[in-house]
């Protein structure tokens, strides 16, 4: 049995690409950053915690935990949750490079495998009107960094530099497929 420790529709859609049967379960994990925690540390800790929380309830299943954070000059930018925060995040990122840390953890019982991806997004200069139009069009309030790169958000960038394009959406499938193969899954 394979379980995705997430209720994210984006992660669910990504995992469906691997054509493996799986279920989803909500991990009951506090996602608040710890004092002084760097973005890379946060995503590793949360990916592991999400996988562990669900694995405790399903000890015979392989559980996938994943997390992502935007890193603007070492400051964590999470999901905006609303329009005002989304507008502010995008205004702060305009004309800048932002790092997106994405971690994935695969766990069954006490066995744990993990991987991470670092994606650099170079935002083009963005006018207030462009930001407002974008936010009104896609309402990316549940996305780290306030955009959907798989949608209209792609028009906000000059470039994306990554080892794994799916990591920016929230689940690094190249790394996950490798972890699954290590545990005996046939992917593809």
Question: pLDDT tens digits for 10-32?
Answer: 999 999 999 999 999 999 999 99
- pTM here is 0.91
Cα–Cα distance measured from residue 179 to residue 185, given in angstroms and rounded to the nearest whole number: 9
What are the structure tokens assigned to 176, written together? Answer: 């996950």
* Active-site annotation holder among 67, 71, 117, 164: 67
In 10 A of CB 151, how many CB atoms? 13
- Asked if 70 contacts 144 with a C-beta cutoff of 8 angstroms, the reply is yes
What letters, b where the CB count within 10 A reaches 16 and e where it falls short, cover 37-63? Answer: ebbbbbbbbbbbbbbbbbbeebeebbb
Residues of the chain below pLDDT 50: none
- 67 annotated active-site: yes
CATH number among 3.10.180.10, 3.40.30.10, 1.10.579.10, 3.90.950.10, domain 2-182: 3.90.950.10
Compute the Cα dihedral for 139, 141, 145, 150 and give only its sign.
Answer: negative
| Alpha carbon 47 to its chain's center | 10
Q: Which residue has the tokens 């593809």?
A: 188
Q: Which of 106, 101, 107, 30 is nearest to 71 (CA)?
A: 101
């Amino acid at each position: 049995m394979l379980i995705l420790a997430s209720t994210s529709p984006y992660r669910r859609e990504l995992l469906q690409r691997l054509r493996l049967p799986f279920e989803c379960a909500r991990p009951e994990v506090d996602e608040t950053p710890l004092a002084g925690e760097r973005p890379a540390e946060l995503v590793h800790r949360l990916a592991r915690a999400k996988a562990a929380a669900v694995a405790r309830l399903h000890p015979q299943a392989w559980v996938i935990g994943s997390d992502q954070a935007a890193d603007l000059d070492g400051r964590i930018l999470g999901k905006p949750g609303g329009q005002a925060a989304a507008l502010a995040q995008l205004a702060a990122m305009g004309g800048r490079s932002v790092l997106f840390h994405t971690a994935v953890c695969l766990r069954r019982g006490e066995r744990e495998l993990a991987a991470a991806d670092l994606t650099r997004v170079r935002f083009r200069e963005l006018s207030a009107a462009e930001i407002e139009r974008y936010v009104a069009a896609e309402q990316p309030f549940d996305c780290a960094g306030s955009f959907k790169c798989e949608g209209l958000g792609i028009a906000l960038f000059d470039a994306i530099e990554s080892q794994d394009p799916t990591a920016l959406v929230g689940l690094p499938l190249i790394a996950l497929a490798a972890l699954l193969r290590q545990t005996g899954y046939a992917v593809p």
